[in-house]
Amino acid sequence: MLPGEYEALGALTVKAYLDGGFLIGGLDDQYAPRLRDVAHRAGSATVLVAVDGERVLGGVTIAFPGSPLMELGGDGDAEVRMLAVDPGAGGRGVGSALAAACVERARAEAGTKRVVLCSQQTMVGAHRIYRRLGFERAPELDWSPLPGVDLWAFFLTL
């Protein structure tokens, strides 16, 4: 990912979450600034981006042990965060390609045994992608960062 793409990916991520109904507080949701701050993510983890020419189609963050972006993962885990696809690029396989790239990146990282992630229960399109890649539900890792925001956990053993 190039620093010049940070702003576009941040705006795209907020738009994707907003259009999908995943930001309870709309643009004032307390998670929106974290979604927008791609520079912070890139400084703390690996950010992958899908582009078509100059157009950013989507992006995702993958964090490894020691990253402040790890919420579910522990030693031997890679954690997928903030997968987002431009709503106008839906149906092109962008989300699947980004998720698969995270799995490949995790496999390339020495000592990584598992990929974990969490997803809102209503993110059914993302759940289909994860299941196609072999992820399984991990209910013991489910959590709720805020009342009314219930996150399901998934894992893939490498």
Q: Where are the domains of the chain?
A: 3-157
Dihedral-angle region of residue 136 (phi above 0 means left; psi in -120 to 50 means alpha; beta otherwise) = beta
| pTM (two decimals) | 0.92
Predicted local confidence at residue 24, as pLDDT = 80
Among the listed residues 2, 6, 15, the one whose alpha carbon sits nearest the alpha carbon of residue 85: 15
Residue with tokens 């149906």: 91
User: Cα–Cα distance between 38 and 136 in angstroms, integer?
Assistant: 28
Residue type, 100: A
CATH of region 3-157, choose from 3.40.630.30, 3.40.50.1370, 3.40.50.1580, 2.70.98.10? 3.40.630.30
> Measured over all CA atoms, what is the biggest interatomic distance in the chain, rounded to whole angstroms?
41
Pull the structure tokens for residue 131: 């299941």
How does residue 1 score in pLDDT terms, banded at 50, 70 and 90? Answer: low
For residue 151, pLDDT beyond 80: yes
In this prediction, what percent of the chain has a pLDDT beyond 70?
A: 99
